């Protein structure tokens, strides 16, 4: 079974025509413009519908991609640096996703090895989501899948550790900084955390406080790092702007 899964994984990871779609191409253009001097807070794409369109994508994903290309450029040139980055970027994210699924299974089944192997097999066979981890896919969906799995893992351990609770809050705010499409899921998990506090009371008070403080403080820091000051109090498409920042900081502080 493991051999068959390995073959299937290699087959799905093989680069073929159509893997690099328009979103991935647009992300690469945005990263190249950043490398060539476009401002950190300037998310306009001037090649789209001239004189340009304001993009809603976050610099959180642009930054590591740009860093990889810049680091490889002196060794293999800008074109090959981009190609290598496109190929390599999804692979550690895929490994991280499978590792997180295994860790969640271990937590839910008290370390039962069979459950961990089964979880890894099922994760690799989840073809609908596996497509986000093929080489060439540099849009933010693979990162969001990893962050959601990490959030689930840390949330499962909130009752036992204030550090894990704080990590859950940090991961939640980072996911929102990449795209608020994850807001419904994060809201549901936050409601579950509140339910835990109602159920367990003061015994988990320190952990719940750590979750709230981490979510509020990291949301504010990320908003300051990613948005121009004028947009901190206004509605911003798919980002930690005014209403979403008020929701995360206000609710977490409460």
Residue range 22-44, pLDDT digits in tens: 888 889 989 999 999 998 888 88
Arithmetic mean of pLDDT, 91-117 = 88
Domain identity same for 130 and 144: no
> Over 50: is that where the pLDDT of 18 sits?
no
Arithmetic mean of pLDDT, 68-87 = 91
Which pTM value belongs to this model?
Answer: 0.85
For 79-100, give one letter per residue: b (16+ CB within 10 A) or e. eebbbebbeebbeebbebbbbb
At 130 the pLDDT is 74
Ordered DSSP codes for 142-180? HHHHHHHHHHHHHHHTTTT-HHHHHHHHHHHHHHHHH-G
Q: Which of 117, 137, 157 is the last residue of a domain?
A: 137
Question: Which residues 6+ apart lie within 8 Å of 128 measured at CB?
Answer: none
Confidence of residue 103 (pLDDT cuts 50, 70, 90): very high
Element (H, E) at 123: helix 113-125
Tens-place pLDDT, residues 141-160 = 899 999 999 999 999 999 88
Domain identity same for 82 and 122: yes
Arithmetic mean of pLDDT, 99-108 = 91
At 17 the pLDDT is 41
> Over 70: is that where the pLDDT of 7 sits?
no
> Over 50: is that where the pLDDT of 109 sits?
yes
Domain identity same for 26 and 125: yes
Q: Which two tokens stand for residue 74?
A: 């002196």
Domain identity same for 131 and 208: no
> Over 90: is that where the pLDDT of 70 sits?
yes
Q: Which of 137, 158, 186 is the last residue of a domain?
A: 137
At 15 the pLDDT is 46
Strand partners, 53: 45
Confidence of residue 127 (pLDDT cuts 50, 70, 90): low
Domain that holds residue 176: 140-254
Domain count, the chain: 2
Domain identity same for 169 and 65: no
At 104 the pLDDT is 93
At 4 the pLDDT is 63
């Amino acid at each position: 079974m493991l051999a068959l899964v390995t073959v299937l994984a290699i087959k799905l990871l093989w680069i073929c025509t159509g893997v690099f779609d328009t979103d991935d191409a647009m992300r690469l253009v945005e990263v190249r413009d950043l490398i060539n001097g476009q401002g950190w807070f300037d998310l306009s794409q001037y090649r789209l519908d001239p004189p340009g369109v304001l993009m809603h994508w976050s610099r959180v994903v642009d930054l590591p991609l740009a860093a990889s290309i810049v680091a490889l450029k002196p060794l293999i040139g800008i074109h090959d640096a981009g190609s290598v980055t496109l190929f390599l970027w999804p692979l550690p994210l895929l490994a991280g996703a499978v590792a997180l699924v295994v860790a969640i299974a271990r937590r839910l089944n008290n370390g039962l090895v069979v459950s961990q192997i089964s979880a890894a097999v099922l994760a690799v066979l989840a073809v609908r989501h596996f497509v986000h981890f093929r080489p060439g896919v540099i849009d933010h969906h693979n990162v969001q899948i990893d962050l959601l799995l990490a959030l689930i893992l840390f949330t499962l351990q909130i009752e036992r550790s204030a550090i894990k609770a704080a990590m859950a809050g940090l991961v939640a705010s980072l996911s929102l900084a990449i795209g608020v499409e994850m807001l419904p899921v994060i809201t549901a998990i936050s409601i579950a955390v509140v339910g835990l506090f109602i159920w367990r009371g003061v015994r988990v008070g320190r952990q719940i406080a750590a979750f709230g403080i981490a979510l509020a403080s990291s949301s504010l820091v990320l908003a300051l790092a990613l948005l121009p000051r004028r947009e901190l109090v206004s509605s911003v498409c798919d980002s930690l702007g005014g209403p979403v920042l008020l929701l995360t900081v206000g609710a977490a502080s409460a």
